[in-house]
Chains A and B, each alone.
Chain A
Amino acid sequence: MPTIEVNYQDLQTLVGEHIPLDVLQEEGILYAKGEIEEIEGEVLKVDIKDTNRPDLWSAEGIARELQGRYGTKKGLPAYAVKPSGLTVKVSPKLKNIRPLTVCAVVKKLNITPDVLSQMIQLQEKISVTFGRNRKEVAIGVYDLHKIKGPIKFTSVKPDGIRFAPLEFNQKMTPAEILKKHPKGLEYGGLLKGLKEYPLFIDSAGEVLSIPPIINSNHTGKISTATGDIFIECSGFNFKFLVPALNTIVAALADRGGQIQSVRVDYPDGVRHTPDLRPKKTKVNVDYVKEVSGLKLSRGQICELLEEARYETRPKGKSIELLYSAYRQDIMHPRDVIEDVIISYGYNRIKPVFPKLVTTGGVSDIEKFSDAVTDVMIGLGFQETLSYMLTNKNALFGRMNLPEGDVVEIENIVSSNWSVFRNWLIPANMEFLAKNKHRTYPQNIFEVGDIITPDRAMETKTRDRRRIAASSSGARTGYEYMASVLDALFSSLGLEYQLVPARHPTFITGRVAEIRYNRKSVGILGEIHPKVLNSWDIENPVVSFEIDLGKIL
């Protein structure tokens, strides 16, 4: 869901048609799976919903979809590629560092401010969103005339070379860049633990970049004065690199640039990139109708796909398709069918409500929880709701308990939410602690799940539905909560026993185990003043907690 900015005038120029703003907003932008979120003068802020279609994340990409639907250009966009004669040699040293690159040359670009801002934005969105924050895709763009081929993609020791990084005049080693340059600080983690860093360097010894961190200030600075450029994408997997490069060069070709290929010499073979030959797939006409529900003829389907920039070749019940090399999202005919429906227009479809006879219902534990809740409300208790995530101090320390075994989060956002609750009374205590200046008595309860470790389970944990109820106030007491508990069990039609117990959370001699069918199902007691002090609660509290699954 990247949000991109496009200029309304620039977009219309690219499409070659005037599209009224309301038409663009209501209909046009949907063809690019977008939604206009904000309009500021000429600038449209567009949320593109498809995280798997980087080709849509630029004015050029949106324009291609609009061209198809508003009639100026349909069918497959064609991109011619001539060889540039430039070679990039990939060193075997990169094997465990950053082994792959795909490169291209684009010539005769007229880099207007709109072109420059779109190019920078697309590069940024691809490397961050599609390229997993530069891990999978790092992109470098350079002024071709400042580079002397062949280029080497190799590795260098952190202090093995000095060059001025982008926006800096002073020369630095890669190690220094990681410590001082803002991009070094931001992306340095990607090189953590490596003995050598990746390096693009030309045959004159001029540094291009240390991917995925930063370009050099000399070769890697693009302006409106630049005409011919060299582009490289580096990473670990062609599945990410190829669509990234293809998307960028296609956008530049749409701006009038000429795409030229680069010979990339790998230790085990040669690749010529970019490869913009269209890809092939096919769909069955009946399958399109079955999935969409639309009554479409083969001809209509072909027309809708041409609008979505496919080339179509109908053959019997099936349609053979060619689509652009920048698309990597088509895995199954379903993906093509969605394009048919988008072309047709989601809001043109008349929704049909299916008549399916089924019986509804909820699980027994939910029904039982509702019954328990009803009784508690009848007894004048206010229901509360709290997070299942809490911390050990709330569960143990403040409850005067030794630390026990709980389910723990690794990547915590806040230490307040670092473990899952393993009992529910602490949630009552936290609530009462936050309301000590409110009117008493405070009678509260919560019905919710707790989680306990259990090695035998598939997920090594077990969820348990519990109720915790507490009464707090100057005049509340053990007898009162014993009555509430009795009322609850009687209303549920259940027999129970109270057996004197010991529990550090409660006052000795005022705590009982609740038994049902001779099994322990909960606890009732007056909270120990030590616990009240630790929560800074100034009124007595009497609580009970019951495992509802055990009395269901």
Chain B
Amino acid sequence: MQRSLLHLPIKRSAWAIRTSNVARIAAVRSFASEASPNPEIYDIVVVGGGPVGLTLAASLGAARATSHLKIALIEGMNLASIRDWNPTPDYFANRIVSLIPSTVKLLKETGVWKHIKQERVQSYDGMQVWDGMTDARVEFDWNKLLGGREEGIDTTIAHMVENIHLSHGLLQRLEELAVKPTMIDKTKVEKIEYGQMTEDVDMRDWPIVTLSNGQKLGARLLIGADGGNSPVRTFAGIESRGWDYDRHSMVATFKIEDDSAFPKFAYQRFLPSGPVAILPLPGNFANLAWSTTPEKVAHLKSLAPEDFVAMVNAAFRLSYTDIDYLHNLKSGVVEETKWRESVTKYPDPPTIPVRITEVLEGTRASFPLKMKHADRYIGERIALVGDAAHTIHPMAGQGLNAGVGDVYSLVKSIADGISHGQDIGSSFTLEPYQSERYLPNNALLGFVDKLHTLYGFESGPLVPLRSMGVEIINRDWFGLKRFLMSQAAKS
């Protein structure tokens, strides 16, 4: 995908503004002339104030072609807590995201990145991924791969940022916009329906959003950034296909041993029950993302803190047989792992993560994992972005990045539409978004889904085969490693 700046085509066509201004004037007029039961008309109504929804609002506000649009953003939760987020250096939230370079680039272009506190962002240059059954390993490390020969290349694989931190930065950016979007939080979408024809306007093909506070919003374009169970998608009658993995992802934040002697790496070990990952945070902190069966997650949550810490350390050191057995222990994991680690051979850091020492209180949480892909991303006056369009297994850390990729593409399509004088809600305007994003997202979803299946085998012919494949990738035969890494760096 060619990445041009977002400050798009406004110079080419001043006419685009005019069209839209007319629309806005019309909308205002209609609001003025009608009584309250009539909807207030917006150019764009975004449902969902998560990172993707906020990024969308911020990008629309930042791109010159779209910065004048009248936008409303609806969020069920209280955004004030995110706005007032005041971090302390000795605590990191458990929900974090990995932002790949292309995502960061977009955040820089839209002016969000400067609101992100860099001391709370941890970037990493290397990734260690290995097979829990055979120990076949891939090291993703640009520095090692290029051997320092090529200068001026961004060797960062990703930046770890807390979800709330990112949302906080996005909200701050929205505050500075010249035309601020209307933020409606603590409010749920009650129903979505098509409008009616009145004397002034024919709104029969416009979605009208009714909120839980009785407010009605008419949308020239309704964008669903409202997650996996998207009400907007349901309204549009777009089918979303996929399956539950019958796995939950366990997250937690830890204090770790001093790792200043080692480079900051991300670690992921594929166990047959699902991958377990340790992601770096600034200082002596790290985050866990452990995908496993709901029963095992329940067990992990029920363990005493020191047993839980021993369990996570064991997950990167002991054999799967041992880990599976440890899941049956209700207590005494510390002693059991001490014994097993004394008789098991495992590599030293930085090949595996340093030991974690303590789990931060109240950071143990989990959520179910799904694979879902909507049939279409667009409809007449409807667009879906992020999880509303596609839900992905988190093992590759690509969920939000794909969502941001959607945002970029959608904003570009809307800007193009405006500059060509098209109705921003028409599927004709939105078509490029769908055609640009659907196949890459489908490929990504399929790839991750197949990885999940492939690594679900505990034994059998696929186990040596996958290890052979991993060896081939790790040696960068046919440039496979470069290809994978460059693919993972953009969305």
Q: Real complex partners, A and B?
A: no
